[in-house]
Amino acid sequence: MNNDLKAKLVEIPVKILALIIAFMVILRFAYVFYNFLEDPFHEPAALSEEAVKHVMVSLILLELLALTLRFLIHDIIDPNLLLITVLTALGREIIILDLKEVDYTKIIALGLVFAITIFGLHILKQRDSEV
């Protein structure tokens, strides 16, 4: 009975935090969508770099929202889904980088996050092969 109470005391703040994250992701998505609607295409009428950035950020936000909602509904975090989301978010961030005006610390940080993610994937696959 005492363990159930402790589990509930831990579960409640985690659920509240997940709801706050979901709300923040939805607000950010709304901001990105509104910003895109203000000026979607520049002269000439073509898909501009800014529009591509908005689409990529929107896709990343939707994946984060899907992860958060999955956690809220099923109370599980699938590590494979988490790693796939991180890798696709990193890939999209690399795609929208402007190499002419990029800060090299950002490239180093992206590389570090990518290396940590690959290492996590290696550990996950190693653990699955042992089981």
Task: Read off the pLDDT of residues 41-59 as tens digits, 9 standing for 90 and up.
Answer: 656 555 566 667 777 777 7
Instruction: Label residue 75 left, alpha or beta by phi (over 0 means left) and psi (-120 to 50 means alpha).
Output: left
Q: How far apart are CA 100 and CA 94, in angstroms?
A: 13
The whole-number average pLDDT for the span 9-38 is: 78
More confident residue, 30 or 6: 30
End-to-end CA distance of the chain: 32
Give 10's pLDDT tier (boundaries 50, 70, 90): low
Q: Residue 27 has what pLDDT?
A: 84
Give 63's pLDDT tier (boundaries 50, 70, 90): confident
Q: Residue 7 has what pLDDT?
A: 67
pLDDT, the chain, mean: 76
The share of the chain scoring above pLDDT 90, in percent, equals 0
What pTM, to 2 d.p., does this model score?
0.55
Stated length of the chain: 131
Residue 6 has pLDDT above 80, yes or no: no
Consecutive H or E run containing 77? none
- CA-only gyration radius of the chain, Å: 19
The whole-number average pLDDT for the span 103-111 is: 85
Beta carbons within 8 Å of 55's beta carbon, 6+ residues apart = 36
More confident residue, 49 or 84: 84
The pair of three-digit structure tokens given for residue 51, joined into one six-digit string:
């529009």
Give long-range contacts, CB 8 A cutoff, 24+ apart: 125-131: none
Q: Can you name the residues that pair with 42 across neighbouring β-strands?
A: 46
Residue 1 has pLDDT above 60, yes or no: no
Q: How far apart are CA 41 and CA 12, in angstroms?
A: 44
